Structure 1
């Protein structure tokens, strides 16, 4: 399972552990990933994704999964999230 957010593409970063004696050793900063089920209003069902805590706040801020995916860039989304985005767009065009 990759350590990458499915909505924002946020992944591990690297940096240094710095001791009191100013010794530096390499380390990894991992994203805060959570398994969540988000509700899609257009599809009328839940979608399971592995996203970062900051992405979860962004989804809430934008008004739900459907609105978040509408503004999200396709290059940042995972294959599963891109599939859900296309399903939502298809359902919205059939509805209108």
Structure 2
């Protein structure tokens, strides 16, 4: 399973561990992914997503899943989230 947020497209980032002696070794910064169930008001259904904690806060800030997906860029969304976005647009 890919370590990628389904709503924002955030994935692992790469960098270095830097020691006191300034030795650098490669490391990965993994996103804080959470399995959540989000409810769509327009469709009256719930959908399961694997999203970052930051994306979950953004969904709450924008007023729910419907409002978030309306503003979301299609390129960042997973195929599953894109399908839900199209269903919501069709229901409007």
Alignment map for 1:1-96 (pairs within 5 Å)? 1-92=1-92
Q: What does the per-residue CA deviation read over 1:52-79, in whole Å, with 9 as the maximum and x for residues that have no partner?
A: 0000000000000000000001000000
How many positions carry a matched residue from both structures? 92
TM-score of the pair, normalised by structure 1: 0.94
Q: Helix, strand or coil: the match of 1:43?
A: coil
Aligned residues: CA RMSD = 0.5
Provide structure 2 residue ranges, at least 5 long, that are not aligned to the other structure: none
TM-score of the pair, normalised by structure 2: 0.98
Distance 1:63 1:6 in 2: 18
Q: What does the per-residue CA deviation read over 1:33-92, in whole Å, with 9 as the maximum and x for residues that have no partner?
A: 000000000110111000000000000000000000000010000000000000111111
Moved over 3 A (4+): none
Distance 1:53 1:37 in 2: 13
